[in-house]
Amino acid sequence: MPSTRPTGHGLRRDLALLDALASPEAQRSGGLGVVRIAQLTGREKSQVSRALQALAEEGVVERDPDTLEYRLGWRLFSLVARTVEDRLVRTAEPVLHRLSAELEETGHLCVLRDEEVLTVLSVSGHSYRAHDWEGRGVPAHCTSAGRVLLLDASPDELHIRFPAELTGGHDPKTRSLPQLWAEIQRARRTGYAKVTEEFEPGLSGVSAPIRDFRGRVIAALNISAPTTCLPDLDAAGRATAESATTISTQLGYPLPTSAPPMTPT
């Protein structure tokens, strides 16, 4: 006799397991055992065990060989990462076009890859795609994009990511990790970073951070141009920061709430 169970019944049960593994309790402890997951989902332990084994075989969850606890797996994170990056590009492109047209210079959407800044999208101020920089990696320490992409980094993380002596670029003013840290702090205070002919002779740029719903920096919005075409880097930086904020809010980053006006006394 054909089953009358709804087609999505098994999927809903699997999603409940993933919800349990994404819970604050699971994040704090680094995983959950089968018994606890069964308690949270209201299912039989044997059912949960079989479902988790099947999900583990597909890489959706993974099991710690020592504790035998389950956590979300590499395949799920890979799918999420690809989805987030695709949404980032689709959200950023129209905003980047408007910014590039306003400043009449080339704009870039950049992400951090190890010690380099990778450009994932470039547009011209003349309303067409500019592909010369897409897919290219450049040193993070001597570029404005690199400095805002490192806003969330701690000094210890910089020591792990970079060598003590920084090399690369045309005439980088930032040649040591303390200098890089100082530039990152400057970008944090102003909301944007700026460089003048540090990466390439005759080229200047400004960048601002794009944040996700958690407040983490996931990309940088960059404007690069011949130095003579960007005489006021601070004005360009403020415009870039405003556009980056627009993208961030569309990705779910909450704007800071302003303080309520004081009651006159």
Nearest to 253 by CA among 213, 221, 219: 213
Q: Do strands 116-123 and 137-139 pair parallel, antiparallel, or not at all (unpaired)? A: antiparallel
Instruction: Give 6-58 pLDDT, tens digit per residue.
Output: 444 678 888 899 989 988 888 788 899 999 999 999 999 999 999 999 999 98
* pLDDT 10s digits, 75-96: 776 666 566 677 888 899 999 9
Helix residue ranges per DSSP H, the chain: 9-21, 24-29, 34-41, 45-57, 74-103, 144-149, 155-161, 177-190, 233-250
Rounded-to-integer distance, Cα 25 and Cα 94, Å: 39
- By three-state DSSP, how is residue 195 classified? strand
- Domains, the chain, in order of start with CATH, read 11-75 (1.10.10.10), 84-250 (3.30.450.40)
**Are 148 and 209 within 8 A, CB to CB?**
yes
